[in-house]
Amino acid sequence: MRQEDWIKVSDRLPECTFGDRETMHYSRSVLVAMRWINGCSSYWVIRIACYDKLLDQWLDHNEVPYENVEYWMPIELPEEE
């Protein structure tokens, strides 16, 4: 995972290719980076989420929304040998 692999949410969102027949509104699962603020300090948290363009929200696998998502990147599995 390299810094240059992360895509800024304000630059581009993942393509939405899942949903019902009429509206493809879910993206594939991707890695997301969220800034977590705790009192006077903040740190980065990495999670797996998908983007729902109808709700304009990032969701976990239970459809619980994530806030403060600033970056995302596709999940790429290692090549099989």
Query: In which band, very low, low, confident or very high, does the pLDDT at 1 lie, cut at 50, 70 and 90?
Result: confident
Do the domain assignments include residue 81? no
Is residue 49 within 8 Å of 30, Cβ to Cβ?
Answer: yes
Mean predicted lDDT score pLDDT of the chain? 90
Give me the domain span that covers residue 17: 3-74
Is this prediction's pTM over 0.85?
no
Residue 18 tokens, joined: 């899942």
Q: In the prediction, which pLDDT does 17 show?
A: 85
Do the domain assignments include residue 49? yes
How many distinct structural domains can be found in the chain?
1
Each residue of 10-30: pLDDT tens digit? 999 999 887 766 677 889 999
DSSP 8-state assignment for residue 39: T
Each residue of 29-46: pLDDT tens digit? 999 999 888 888 888 999
Q: Reduce the DSSP state of residue 72 to 3 states and report it.
A: strand
Do the domain assignments include residue 39? yes
Q: In the prediction, which pLDDT does 21 show?
A: 67
Do the domain assignments include residue 59? yes
Single-letter amino acid, residue 6: W
Do the domain assignments include residue 30? yes
